[in-house]
């Protein structure tokens, strides 16, 4: 241990001595902080890291932004609120990063939004979907690219109208994301489907579902529609128990995110066909620009893309564009460059709405189907986020800034 560190210090000293003139000739890179739950939620975050890495390589190959390369300092956020803000503090005060992006769980996203507000640094939420990040807990430093719960649930509820289901059961993980999605669903289903009622609610702890007992408790209420917010290992177990018990037969199921390959692939051939889901049917996408991204990703990583891959790529390119437009790495300049900015992304134009810092990125809505040995989506459409966002009045009513 002692030898390694001695060698490291010697090497460091040598690098300083020899590298100093060279470093002066070329400008120092722009440092950006990134944190995500790479250990705990690898299914989503590893493809997401591949995505931003790919975009980063492209940006730096073109010479970076503002004539400087971009350097990402990436850390594991530990998947808890306290650990994430601690890591963020390290990135900001030791590494001196210009802005932060990342995080997976919604509760972590809310804590990061609070941190960004306290420390006055830009934070771009990657995956946290709870409305709170851009609504009640929103602030001028916090931005989000993905469609939030309100938008995605809105898309699903529109599909629910046609099904005629009235007796709804909710199953959602008992933390910020699940609570937020369940609350939005309760509100929207009663507003938009006359006569709808909630007959059962199950909130298993995240990652700790008792799937058999949960499935039979829902079955007991005899719902004709189920709204599911589970994902990851909870979802896999719930689907298997539900399939065995016939819970999904003759039942309309609306499910958030289940069409995303990261959650669909582990289900293998037990995909619950006919569920109406939001997701990412990458295998059927034809738009040339988007297709080119998918092909490049597959060539680079020898793997199929997940939604995380697309998101990581989009976030990184949008950050690059924003810094370029801001002309500096000052927080206020970056905020100005982000607010109401239009971005030309691989999925088409996306606007960052200034009033709540929520982007208009949409989602793919369709039905689950078995394709060979694994699941996929069929009958899908891309729903643009702009038409599902909360109204400006709603935003103004809940935001504190």
Binding positions for other proteins, rule: CB under 8 A: 38-40, 42-43, 46, 75-76, 80-83, 85-86, 89-90, 93-94, 105-107, 110-111, 114-115, 118, 137, 174-176, 179, 201-208, 210-214, 216-217, 219-221, 232-233, 236-237, 240-241, 244-246, 266-268
Kindly state the smallest distance separating residue 86's Cβ from other proteins, in Å.
6
Quick one: three-class SS letters along the chain?
A: CHHHHHHHHHHHHHHHHHHHHHHHHCCCCEEEEEEECCCCCHHHHHHHHHHHHHHHHHHHHCCCECCECEEEEEEECCCCHHHHHHHHHHHHHCCCCCCEEECCCHHHHHHHHHHHHHHCCCEEECCCCCHHHCCCCCCCCEEECCCCHHHHHHHHHHHHHHHCCCEEEEECCCCHHHHHHHHHHHHHHHHHCCCCEEEEEECCCCCCCCHHHHHHHHHHCCCCEEEECCCCHHHHHHHHHHHHHCCCCCCEEEEEEEECHHHHHHHHHHCCCCCEEEECCHHHCCCHHHHHHHHHHHHHHCCCCCHHHHHHHHHHHHHHHHHHHHCCCCHHHHHHHHCCCEEEECCEEEEEECCCCEECCCEEEEEEEEECCEEEEEEEEEECHHHHCCCHHHHHHHCCC
Kindly state the smallest distance separating residue 394's Cβ from other proteins, in Å.
22
């Amino acid at each position: 241990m002692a030898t390694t560190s001695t060698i490291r210090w010697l090497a460091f000293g040598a690098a300083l001595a020899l590298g100093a003139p060279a470093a002066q000739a070329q400008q120092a890179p722009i440092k950006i902080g990134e944190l995500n739950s790479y250990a705990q939620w690898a299914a989503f975050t590893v493809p997401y890291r591949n995505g931003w890495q790919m975009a980063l390589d492209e940006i730096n190959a073109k010479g970076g932004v503002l004539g400087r390369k971009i350097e990402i300092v990436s850390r594991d956020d530990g998947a808890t609120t306290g650990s994430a803000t601690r890591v963020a503090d390290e990135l900001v005060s030791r590494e001196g990063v210009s802005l932060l992006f990342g995080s997976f769980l919604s509760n972590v996203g809310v804590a990061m939004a609070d941190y960004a507000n306290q420390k006055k640094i830009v934070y771009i939420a990657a995956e946290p979907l709870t409305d709170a990040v851009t609504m009640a807990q929103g602030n001028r430093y916090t931005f989000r690219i993905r469609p939030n719960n309100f938008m995605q649930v809105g898309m699903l509820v529109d599909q629910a109208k046609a099904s005629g289901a009235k007796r709804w059961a909710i199953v959602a993980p008992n933390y910020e994301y699940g609570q937020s999605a369940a609350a939005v669903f309760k509100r929207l289903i009663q507003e938009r489907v006359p006569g709808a009622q909630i007959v059962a609610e199950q909130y298993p702890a995240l990652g700790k579902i008792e799937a058999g007992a949960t499935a039979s408790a829902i079955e007991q209420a005899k719902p004709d529609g189920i709204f599911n917010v589970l994902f990851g290992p909870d979802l896999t177990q719930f689907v298997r128990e539900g399939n065995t018990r016939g819970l999904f037969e003759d039942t309309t199921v609306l499910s958030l995110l289940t069409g995303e390959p990261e959650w669909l692939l582990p289900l293998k051939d037990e995909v619950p066909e006919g569920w109406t889901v939001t997701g990412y049917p990458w295998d059927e996408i034809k738009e040339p620009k988007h297709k080119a991204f998918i092909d490049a990703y597959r060539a680079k990583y020898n793997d199929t893309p997940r939604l995380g891959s697309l998101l990581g790529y989009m976030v990184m390119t949008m950050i690059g564009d924003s810094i370029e437009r801001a002309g500096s790495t000052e927080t206020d300049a970056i905020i100005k460059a982000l607010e109401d900015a239009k971005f030309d992304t691989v999925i088409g134009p996306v606007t960052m709405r200034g009033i709540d810092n929520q982007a208009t990125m949409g989602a793919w809505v369709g039905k689950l189907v078995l394709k060979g040995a694994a699941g996929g989506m069929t009958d899908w459409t891309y729903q643009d986020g702009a038409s599902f966002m909360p109204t400006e009045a709603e935003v103004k009513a809940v935001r504190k800034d």
